[in-house]
Amino acid sequence: MSKVQVDTIVDKEDKSAPTLSKGAIVTGVCTATSFVGALTGAVTGNADTATTATTATTATTATTATNAQGLSGTPNITVGNVTSANITNSKQTTSEHVNVTGVGTFGSDISVADNIVHTADTDTAIKFANNSITLDSAGSLALHVDSSAKVGFGTNDPQKPVDVYGESSGALRVSNSSKAADLICDSTGGLLRTIGSYPLVLNTNQTDRLRIGTSGEIGLAVASGVSTDYGTSGQVLTSAGSGSAVQWADAGGAGLEWVAGQSDPNSNYVTFTGLTDTSVSAYKVIWGGVSMDSNNSRRLQAQFQVNGNTWVTGGEYDNKVSTSEFNSNSDSQWYSGSLDCMQFVGNESGEVHSGEMTIPVNANKVNSGQGDKFVFGTASNTWGTGRFHIKLQSANFRLYTITGIRFKNSNDDLTGVNGRFDIYKYTQS
């Protein structure tokens, strides 16, 4: 093989480098201070130093380019694939960051020294620390997972597996497409609530146990999601012992129990019904501040109901009253049999009344003296005081249970009358 050894190759005018229209094959090392033009074809071997690459628009194939260093300027390099165990950017300068504008796919782990920050919203970030992860939103802590796998919302020190914290109120909501429930802790204490007109249900062992209705009623669930037992008026929840569910029961133990009441009647009667002689020793009615019509001589009176539907209005009340008038030094008594109602004092025109009546329960239902029923009590007004005793001895009272009482005046009209009426019962143990 022949050799041509020269120091310099120039064109025929000795002005510049020659143009080699047929190309040139260099089997040794080619050293150049600059390279201008497109690079096409295969590049093999080493490109040890390329100090300036003003235009390198296309490298269609680079089968081996193990050392490409010292590139500067703004080269555009388009390649098909870059395969490497590590891509290292040690200088950490903005101009040397790797920017991926499309989708980056990684076949193994990504190692991050500190945070992942949203480029267009730098106060939103995912932060990594020793065995913990934190998510910040709008510059504030939103979620934190600590080394014990506890999750904190609004706190970086969760105390339980899930800990929801708010500066003034911590709240947790669970919902579906139509219903929602909140668990809240604020300055007033703890709150469990439903959003909308839905009941709150306590369930154990996958079975409904206790239901609070939308009107505040408390009920025992009979079957999950099917029906609820709210008991009846006056009943209480009673323990059935260990291993058994609570149940509704009538109030136990002897004692005085409020049954019903009414203020400022504004109606013809003040009526209480539902009286019974089962497990009851007596009823007591108390009234106070009852003002009668001042323009008419009208007495405060009362009548009984028997057998659940019949008001006794005939001449079947025997009244005896011992009276003590405030404007007299002597007491007096008056008796009137076969009246159509009970009367308590005397002339009550324009008076303000207070008093109490005891109705003992006699369960005997025989048309004899053993079936007689009595009521007694004391009534007062500004005119005087009366101690009354009323005997109920007709067949209507003897053979039936007293089931109601109503108050009226002598004109059967308590419209506009002020005052309060209450009825109580003495229950048996």
What domains are there in the chain, each with its CATH number?
A: 126-190 (no CATH), 199-249 (no CATH), 256-427 (2.60.120)
Lowest average pLDDT, out of 121-130, 179-188, 338-347, goes to 338-347
Is the pLDDT confidence value at 47 over 60? no
Positive or negative CA dihedral for 284, 285, 288, 292? negative
Q: What is the pLDDT of residue 50?
A: 43
Give the number of residues written for the chain: 429
Is the pLDDT confidence value at 159 over 60? yes
Tell me how crowded residue 312 is: count the other CB atoms within 10 A of its CB: 20
Is the pLDDT confidence value at 346 over 80? no
Q: What is the pLDDT of residue 366?
A: 93
Q: What is the pLDDT of residue 33?
A: 64
Mean pLDDT of 294-316: 84
- Is residue 276 very low, low, confident or very high in pLDDT (cuts 50, 70, 90)? very high
Whole-number percent of the chain with pLDDT over 90: 26
Q: Pairing relation of β-strands 310-311 and 300-306?
A: antiparallel
Q: What is the pLDDT of residue 303?
A: 95
Mean pLDDT of 297-309: 87
Q: pTM score, two decimals?
A: 0.45
Residue 234: name the closest of 403, 429, 427 by CA.
427
Mean pLDDT of 191-211: 86
165 vs 77: which has the higher pLDDT: 165
Q: What is the pLDDT of residue 59?
A: 41
Cα 283 to Cα 351: distance, rounded to the nearest angstrom = 26
Cα 333 to Cα 213: distance, rounded to the nearest angstrom = 56
Mean pLDDT across the chain: 79
Cα 351 to Cα 161: distance, rounded to the nearest angstrom = 70
Whole-number percent of the chain with pLDDT over 70: 76
Cα 4 to Cα 16: distance, rounded to the nearest angstrom = 20
Q: What is the pLDDT of residue 86?
A: 53
Residue 322: name the closest of 295, 348, 343, 303 by CA.
343
Residue 195: name the closest of 208, 171, 179 by CA.
179
Mean pLDDT of 101-117: 82
